[in-house]
């Protein structure tokens, strides 16, 4: 690699060597000086090659560290799933794509029911364990690689489903709800069930409506989540019906 990189220098050396070896120059009084300078040039060139090699090596290490940092800064430390910062980035990108391709995109906001009561009864260690389990399970619900589930904060999670309309998103949310219920994590202080349950709010950006942007879409899903809570929790809102676009 370095040989190709320093092709020009190699040509210069060959030229200088030819000059030094030429019979025309045998008696030139500057010949010893010329050969000494050529020697210095070759030594410095070798050093330059080593410097490039070392520099590449050091930079390679920095690049690896950079990637690790990048990864760490996109992951939620407790649950190991994407954090809000990373989720927001992905949502922005996917939403732009959806607008461009005139495809729908759905967002699901998720909240653990009576999580404060859970923490109060079982303690924060168990609370953290519950968050991890819920996060891992929710992450397993999406089927397509472009779908992402992140921790939005506290006991709130969020999913973005590109190319998925309201019908599809409601099905995914319902699947998530069932998966968590089937985990059967005991929750004695919940007034609505004997195990940990979740509420879901779903909002969809479709090609039929004007573009709302990520923030409004999240807000719309949050509003639906609020409704799901108001209607008794452990449910998906809006309710799946065939006339939803």
How many helices (H) and strands (E) would you count in the chain?
7, 5
Burial per residue of 55-70, b for 16 or more beta-carbon CB atoms within 10 angstroms, e otherwise: eeeeeeeeeeeeeeee
- Could you tell me the smallest distance in angstroms from the CB atom of residue 54 to other proteins? 5
Q: Which residues pair with 186 in a beta bridge?
A: 195
Nearer to other proteins, 5 or 192 (CB): 5
Interface contacts to other proteins, rule CB under 8 A:
46-47, 50-51, 53-55, 57-58, 61
Structure tokens at 80: 């190991």
Nearer to other proteins, 46 or 189 (CB): 46
Nearer to other proteins, 55 or 194 (CB): 55
Of the candidates 94, 147, 155, 205, the residue annotated as catalytic is: 155
Nearer to other proteins, 10 or 58 (CB): 58
Taking the C-alpha atoms of residue 98 and residue 127, their distance in angstroms, rounded to an integer, is 36
C-beta of residue 46 within 8 angstroms of C-beta of residue 114 = no
Whether 155 is a known active-site residue: answer: yes
Separation in Å, CA 50 to CA 5, 43, 45, 57: 12, 11, 9, 11
Exposed/middle/buried for 212, CB within 10 Å: 0-12, 13-18, 19+?
Answer: middle
Active site members: 155
């Amino acid at each position: 690699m370095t040989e190709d990189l320093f092709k020009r220098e190699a040509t210069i050396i060959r030229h200088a060597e030819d000059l030094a070896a030429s019979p025309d120059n045998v008696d030139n009084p500057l010949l010893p000086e010329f050969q000494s300078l050529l020697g210095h040039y070759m030594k410095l060139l070798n050093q330059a090659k080593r410097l490039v090699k070392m520099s590449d090596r050091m930079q390679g290490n920095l690049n690896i560290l950079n990637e690790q940092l990048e990864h760490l800064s996109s992951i939620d430390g407790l649950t190991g799933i994407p954090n809000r910062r990373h989720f927001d980035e992905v949502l922005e990108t996917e939403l732009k794509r959806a607008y461009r391709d005139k495809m729908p995109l759905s967002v699901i906001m998720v909240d653990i029911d009576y999580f404060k009561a859970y923490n109060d009864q079982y303690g924060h260690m168990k609370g953290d364990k519950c968050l991890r389990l819920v996060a891992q399970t929710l992450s397993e619900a999406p089927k397509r690689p472009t779908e992402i589930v992140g921790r939005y904060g506290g006991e709130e999670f969020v999913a973005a489903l590109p190319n998925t309309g309201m019908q599809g998103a409601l099905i995914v949310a319902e699947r998530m709800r069932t998966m968590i219920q089937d985990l059967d994590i005991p929750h004695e202080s919940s007034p609505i069930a004997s195990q940990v349950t979740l509420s879901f709010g779903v909002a969809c950006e479709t090609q039929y409506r004007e573009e709302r942007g990520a923030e409004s879409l999240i807000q719309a899903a949050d509003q639906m989540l609020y409704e799901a809570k108001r209607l008794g929790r452990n449910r998906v809102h809006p309710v799946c019906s065939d006339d939803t676009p």
